[in-house]
Amino acid sequence: MLNSSDGLYDITIVGGGPAGLFAAFYAGLREMKTKIIEADSKLGGKVHVYPQKMVWDVGGLTPLTGRELIEQSIEQGLSFSPTIVLDQVITSIEKKNDGTFLVTTTKGDIHHTKTVVIATGAGGVIRPMKLEVPRATEFEKKNLHYEVLDVNDFRGKSLLISGGGPTSIDWGNDLSPIAKDITLIYRGDDLKGLEATKTKLINNGVNILFNTEIYELIGENNVNEVVLYNNKKQETFYMEVDAVLVNHGYHKNNPLLKENSKSTGLELTEHFYIKSNSMGHTNIPGIYGAGDCVLYDGKLQLIAGAYQDATNAVNAAKLYIEPDAHKVAQVSSHNDILDERNKKYLYEQTT
């Protein structure tokens, strides 16, 4: 049913992760009536998968944990009191003859908006890719992990990390002072990460095995031994472990980003990202993209890049509604709402 009680919004942001929250903040600066629709039961997005992982790629901030980033992003994103809708997955976006949009969710609710910013990241509720070997499900609730909720789960243990991407590298570095020893395996022949982090991994004494993957898990109540397979030598070997951490990526669970999807008419790339330009424009005027769900030449795959995407998308949405508006909102330091928060902060620091 149409959420007529909400009225018509200037901008509806699909996704409540870092890109969506910053888009809501920036839309507030541009005095746009804003709504966030999030598929999960909480705001924060994919960062919830690594609450204790250190985040280094936000300019001007010293490293902070994922949990701290979530808390600060939510506080900033809600500065201008946007409407928040949780537990709703978008199934279609229909453009009306008057240029506005009807956004429909899995619950049958219809949200009316002048513009849409899609900032879903991988899309929907994040689900890690599971290990597809016998008995993997049996050990999930024990010492087979797909995320790190408490670093103390690995304290003093022989840890096997499976995966060759940035997350595996970061956990190898962050857990090296905590674990007894760490072996990182990857099915390819080179890790996918920044040079400095790969060098740090070696300097931290992490044992790295290339062309290697998990073939079998052995144990009674917990995994205590793993059969590994070298896909280059085509041979198996055994390794004793106390814990296994799998980082094989995440499933994209987003009806808007499906092959040949007719739910929006959005043009997608080969790997089902939204095609956009650097200013957030998609092939449909009035619909814009930001963060990990979009791809364009020069795309920066960092949280810092998501913030730039968000501001560009909001500016484009503002111009769609008001063609004579300023192209950008250059100064964010002085605003009645933010000034009051600044006064409160300064008062708390001096009392």
Domain of residue 334, CATH code:
3.50.50.60
The pLDDT of residue 12 is above 70: yes
Asked if 240 and 257 sit in the same domain, the reply is no
Asked if 17 and 116 sit in the same domain, the reply is yes
Asked if 213 and 237 sit in the same domain, the reply is yes
Angstrom distance (rounded) from CA 166 to CA 147: 14
The pLDDT of residue 162 is above 80: yes
**Could you say which of 232, 248, 264 is where a domain stops?**
248
Asked if 88 and 144 sit in the same domain, the reply is no
Q: What mean pLDDT is reported for the chain?
A: 88
* b/e map 82-110, b = 16+ CB within 10 Å: bbbbeebbbbbbebeeeebbebbbeeeee
Angstrom distance (rounded) from CA 80 to CA 13: 14
Angstrom distance (rounded) from CA 189 to CA 113: 48
Asked if 146 and 176 sit in the same domain, the reply is yes
The pLDDT of residue 346 is above 60: no
The pLDDT of residue 260 is above 50: no
How many domains, in total, are found in the chain? 2
The answer to whether residues 293 and 301 touch, using CB atoms and an 8 Å cutoff, is no
- Nearest of 114, 113, 112, 117 to residue 38 by alpha carbon: 117
DSSP 8-state class, residue 15: -
The pLDDT of residue 85 is above 80: yes
The pLDDT of residue 350 is above 80: no
Q: Rg of the chain's alpha carbons, rounded to an integer? A: 22
Q: What's the pTM value of the predicted model, to 2 decimals?
A: 0.78
**Could you say which of 248, 271, 289 is where a domain stops?**
248
Per cent of the chain over pLDDT 90 is: 65
Q: Where are the alpha helices (DSSP H) in the chain?
A: 18-29, 66-77, 136-139, 166-175, 195-203, 303-321, 336-350
- Name the pairing type of β-strands 144-145 and 127-128: unpaired
- Say what the pLDDT of residue 164 is: 94
**Could you say which of 248, 278, 295 is where a domain stops?**
248
Asked if 14 and 99 sit in the same domain, the reply is yes
Asked if 277 and 262 sit in the same domain, the reply is yes
Indicate the range of 42-51, 170-179, 197-206 predicted with least confidence. 42-51
Q: What pLDDT, in 10s, does the model give residues 60-75? A: 888 888 899 999 999 9
Q: Residue 280 sits in which domain range?
A: 4-126+251-350
Angstrom distance (rounded) from CA 12 to CA 19: 13
